[in-house]
A and B are shown apart, each in its own frame.
Chain A
Amino acid sequence: KAGVTQTPRYLIKTRGQQVTLSCSPISGHRSVSWYQQTPGQGLQFLFEYFSETQRNKGNFPGRFSGRQFSNSRSEMNVSTLELGDSALYLCASSAKTAPPPDTQYFGPGTRLTVL
């Protein structure tokens, strides 16, 4: 099976712009989670999508949003970019079979640099 894929791998944006990142989960996986990784804050949970619905959300401002499509692919959007949004954004997919727990498998990440 192919792993989790994320596009693009690298992005450079300027303050005030918006950006969209894409994630394709492992085939058959229905849950996609997003995490932000920075040197200062480490790995922090952004949100999770399952069957096109946002299930859980971390403690991030409303500028961070996402969605999931019927084929389980997910996108996250960051509007009005700030310098502090520079980070590695990681997507993780899981099968989300009941009952929990499930295992999350990560993609290679998108490195976002905000200038």
Chain B
Amino acid sequence: DTEVTQTPKHLVMGMTNKKSLKCEQHMGHRAMYWYKQKAKKPPELMFVYSYEKLSINESVPSRFSPECPNSSLLNLHLHALQPEDSALYLCASSQGERSVGELFFGEGSRLTVL
């Protein structure tokens, strides 16, 4: 069982909808990540929060908006998505700078944009 919990597991939305993906961890990790993964491809980094501050934004379109309400929670707000945004969205956490690369992933939210 993963210690990073993501909801919902599956989401279908239209291009005009607004939805949010949620992620929670209670391991005391100080870095949290959003990755996007398409079929048969490796995960692609989208955002990194370190100590609740956005530290990395990998040139992600503004229709994706991250939010870190506290050290345990990470949200990804979705608005006006395109069909090509359909993918598995993975949340991950790590202890912080001393263990970069040792990521704990959630099971992912599988998103379909119609």
Is the A/B pair a real complex? no
List residues of chain B with CB under 8 Å of any chain A CB.
Answer: none
